[in-house]
Amino acid sequence: MNALRSMKAPRALFDKLWDAHEIHRRDDGGSLLWVDRHFVHEGSHHAFRKIAERGQGVAEPRLTFGVADHYVPTRGRGLRIADPAIARMVETLSKNAAEHGFKLFGLDDPRQGIVHVVGPEQGITLPGLLINCGDSHTSTHGAFGAYAFGVGATEVAHVLATQTIWQKKPRRMLIRVDGKLLPGVSAKDIALNWIARLGADGARGCAIEYAGEAVRALSMEGRMTLCNLSIEGGGRCGMVAPDETTFAYLKGRPYAPPAHLWDVAIADWAALATDDGAEFDREVSLHADEIAPIVTWGTSPEDALPITASVPDPATAATESDAQRIRAALSYMGLKGGAPLERIAVDQVFIGSCTNGRIEDLRAAASVLAGRKAKVPGLVSPGSSLVKAQAEQEGLDRIFVEAGLEWAASGCSMCVGMNGDIVAPGMRCASTTNRNFRGRQGPGARTHLMSPAMVAAAAVTGHLADVRPMLAGRI
């Protein structure tokens, strides 16, 4: 009877996804969940070694997908990888795919790219699924109404061997963004806005659902950016209920349901909406027209402010603890409190990553750069080989190159600084990536996070700049 009442009670999207995947619940509250899709990359070799040591194989090869992305070089594609350690990891991924029989989007595959770009692009990511990968930004896939989260090496091994994972149910959090975004403001700005307001631990351990008019108006690319950054605010995952925008994006994708099953799939996916009256552990409301283009100034994504603001002054901090944290961040970043953000000179720019390396992101940057010259060098790395091909078909690559930026192959590139694409010590980079931690883009690198259009504005001016005046007559 209790179970029957529970099933009839209003449920949030996350509750529906959890209930659909829970196999068993322990007395301590831990639940065994079924995993629908498991993505692995060249950094997953530890997990494969673990299952080999135990004499185990991959339980569900058809639900496992490999992608070479984290360590792969973006220059000299097609040539032998110069770094022997990276070459070995890429080769090991290929061997594991062949041995265990799972699909691999390797360097010789025209569909290769960043795992969180390739999955949606191929239609492997679908509404209602539980998706794991040994990467924290697996939350990206939640944009499709999926329960997607990153796991550690031990958990990767467990999923490989059993196609299941143990989890304790997170708290539910709703972030509603009402109204309409103003021109020049993007999903990246929504994300940095709420993270700055609530803090890097503001959504700690929560399953975040994004809703509201502004979220519904986002493209799938924008929704993926929003869900991608959920982790930077402490969230366990992020998600958006599927709708017509989702369905239109997925229709005809290689791994999406075929035509004769499409209507059935749509009917199932349409039910993945939060019921009226469903309860959340926390609700946050934002107004879209109050969000401006945002940049980070410190060493955490929460260190973010509108471009028209100034660098925080430790002397005006609310507490001594806050003052110490600000002083430490400014010391690393080489900044002075009170300086206008728009006067901060940059040494280089980067456009790419699983956060902002999709075709829409490249178009946004190109709309600013068209007919203009960059004052600083920069690198543009598309999120996948298909995105690269599409961008070249549209002539975006020529815009970047004519502006003075380098056009590279797809991969995680300068986001992680482990593949040859790095920011030199002490250099300042305007970046479309997701993390501005100390040394994230290379030892001593100083990173400012922002949207693709804002990075393009920084490239053109040579300093952090408000992109909105540059968009006049272009959007």
DSSP string over 158-214: HHHHHSEEEEEPPEEEEEEEES-PPTT--HHHHHHHHHHHH-TTTTTTEEEEEESHH
Does 251 share its domain with 284?
A: no
Containing structural domain, residue 193: 171-241+275-290
Domain assignment present for 162? yes
Does 67 share its domain with 137?
A: yes
Q: What is the pLDDT of residues 353-370, one digit of tens each?
A: 999 999 999 999 999 999
Does 126 share its domain with 58?
A: yes
Domain assignment present for 179? yes
Does 165 share its domain with 175?
A: no
Which pLDDT does position 327 carry in this prediction? 97
pLDDT at 341 over 80: yes
Which residues, including other chains, have CB under 8 Å from residue 426's CB and lie 6 or more apart? 334, 444, 446
Looking at the structure of the chain, the number of domains it has is 3
Which pLDDT does position 475 carry in this prediction? 72
Which pLDDT does position 8 carry in this prediction? 75
Does 217 share its domain with 202?
A: yes
Domain assignment present for 473? no
Domain end marker among 290, 320, 347: 290
Are the beta carbons of 158 and 60 closer than 8 angstroms? no
> How confident is the model over 381-386, as a mean pLDDT?
98
Does 262 share its domain with 387?
A: no
Domain end marker among 290, 319, 350: 290
pTM as predicted? 0.96
Which pLDDT does position 417 carry in this prediction? 87
Domain assignment present for 422? yes
Domain assignment present for 435? yes
Does 175 share its domain with 130?
A: no
> How confident is the model over 49-77, as a mean pLDDT?
96
Which pLDDT does position 7 carry in this prediction? 56
Does 344 share its domain with 247?
A: no
Distance between CA atoms of residues 193 and 181, nearest Å: 12
> At 2, is the pLDDT very low, low, confident or very high (cuts 50, 70, 90)?
very low
Does 255 share its domain with 328?
A: no
Does 355 share its domain with 336?
A: yes
Q: Any idea what the CATH number is for the domain that residue 191 is in?
A: 3.40.1060.10
- Report helix, strand or coil for 311: coil
DSSP 315: G
Using a 10 angstrom Cβ sphere, with 0-12 exposed, 13-18 middle and 19 or more buried, the burial of residue 161 is middle
> At 1, is the pLDDT very low, low, confident or very high (cuts 50, 70, 90)?
very low
pLDDT at 330 over 60: yes
Does 7 share its domain with 77?
A: yes
Q: Which of 299, 294, 332, 329 is nearest to 314 (CA)?
A: 329
Domain assignment present for 411? yes
pLDDT at 115 over 80: yes
Distance between CA atoms of residues 442 and 351, nearest Å: 16
Work out the mean pLDDT of the chain and round it to a whole number.
96
Domain assignment present for 474? no
> How confident is the model over 425-453, as a mean pLDDT?
97
Which pLDDT does position 206 carry in this prediction? 98
Domain assignment present for 199? yes
Using CA atoms in the order 387, 391, 392, 398, what is the torsion angle rounded to 10 degrees? -140
Report the percentage of the chain scoring pLDDT > 70.
99
Does 390 share its domain with 280?
A: no
Q: Which two tokens stand for residue 379?
A: 């690198």
pLDDT at 456 over 90: yes
Report the percentage of the chain scoring pLDDT > 90.
95
Which pLDDT does position 4 carry in this prediction? 47
Distance between CA atoms of residues 13 and 273, nearest Å: 5
> How confident is the model over 391-408, as a mean pLDDT?
98
